[in-house]
């Protein structure tokens, strides 16, 4: 529940799916095909403008130690306990992407974003993953310097690298699912709301997320705690807890943007 007082704006984590239940950002992913995509490739330096209307993205477990230095880490409130990096404090706003499509200098870019426009699709038999690319005219072009296939119809370096990245991402995502399931069932998560004061006497109430309750963590059953330690999960839990300091970074970025809007 979001409390709205005088001068307050309510915001929350936005749904992590696009239209027609497609993954976030993806509009029409299709399998990479040597014939269909002959002579087609990615536009050079298409940037990160595709993320500008999103205030949170999923992150994998192995990323949390890097993510915690730049973004607050929260967990989705939908029962799946998906870890997400908070990118903005207002709805439909990413504070880390600049007007020219560049990412905030020096900030870690989550793998979910770096993977785009590629993605794995599970085939109907459930045993094979196919490399797909989002069929987006803003990103793809004929005669590109970054083709998907060479003149012989063999995968070019771009496609080979995308395949390896998607393999690594898929493996990390499976590891994250195991952690998220255990966390969702642990009773450690609690709903929270961040109240942040920004320029112009405004207060933003950011809700719709969960965090690990430190008190509940300290009271965790010894056997369960040791089991999590054996799985190697403790550093990722602490990364989440440390990430709370990054709400101040978001506040600073929003204040900078509000000053530009008021100019």
Q: What is the pLDDT of residues 56-78, one digit of tens each?
A: 999 999 999 999 999 999 999 99
Is 176 a domain residue? yes
- Whether 178 maps to a domain, the answer reads yes
Residue 195 lies in a domain: yes
Q: Is residue 2 part of a domain?
A: no
pLDDT averaged over the chain? 90
Find the domain containing 186 and state its range: 8-262
Q: Residues 237-245: contacts with CB within 8 Å, 24+ apart?
A: 237/212, 239/64, 239/65, 239/67, 239/68, 239/73, 240/64, 240/68, 240/73, 240/83, 240/211, 240/212, 241/212, 241/214, 242/68, 243/64, 243/67, 243/68, 243/71, 243/72, 243/73, 244/72, 244/211
Asked if the structure places residue 91 within a domain, the reply is: yes
pLDDT category at 201 given cuts 50, 70, 90 is confident
Provide, rounded to the nearest whole percent, the portion of the chain with pLDDT above 70. Answer: 91
Does any domain span residue 181? yes
Number of domains in the chain: 1
**Selection from 118-127, 180-189, 194-203, 251-260 with the highest mean pLDDT:** 180-189
Say if CB 32 and CB 154 are below 8 A apart.
no
Domain-located, residue 88: yes
pTM of the predicted structure, to 2 decimals: 0.91
Q: Evaluate whether residue 160 is within a structural domain.
A: yes
């Amino acid at each position: 529940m979001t409390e709205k007082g005088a001068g307050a704006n309510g915001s929350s984590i936005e749904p992590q799916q696009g239209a027609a239940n497609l993954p976030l950002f993806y509009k029409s992913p299709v399998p990479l095909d040597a014939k269909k995509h002959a002579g087609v490739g990615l536009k050079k330096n298409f940037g990160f403008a595709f993320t500008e209307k999103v205030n949170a993205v999923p992150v994998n477990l192995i990323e949390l130690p890097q993510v915690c230095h730049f973004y607050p880490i929260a967990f989705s409130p939908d029962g799946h306990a998906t870890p997400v990096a908070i990118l903005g404090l207002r709805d439909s706003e990413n504070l880390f992407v600049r007007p020219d499509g560049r990412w905030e200098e020096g900030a870690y870019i989550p793998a979910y974003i770096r993977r785009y426009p590629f993605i794995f699709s599970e085939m109907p038999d459930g045993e094979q993953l196919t490399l797909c690319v989002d069929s987006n005219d803003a990103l793809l072009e004929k005669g590109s310097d970054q083709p998907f296939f060479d003149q012989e119809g063999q995968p070019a370096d771009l496609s080979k690298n995308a395949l390896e990245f998607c393999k690594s991402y898929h493996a990390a995502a499976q590891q994250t699912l195991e952690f998220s399931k255990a966390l969702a069932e642990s009773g450690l998560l609690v709903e929270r709301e961040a109240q942040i004061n920004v320029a112009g006497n405004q207060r933003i109430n950011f809700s719709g997320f969960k965090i690990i309750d430190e008190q509940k963590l300290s009271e965790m059953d010894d056997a369960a705690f040791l089991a999590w330690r054996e799985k190697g999960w403790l550093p990722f839990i602490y990364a989440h807890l440390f990430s709370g300091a990054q709400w101040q970074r978001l506040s600073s970025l929003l204040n900078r943007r509000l000053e530009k809007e008021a100019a």
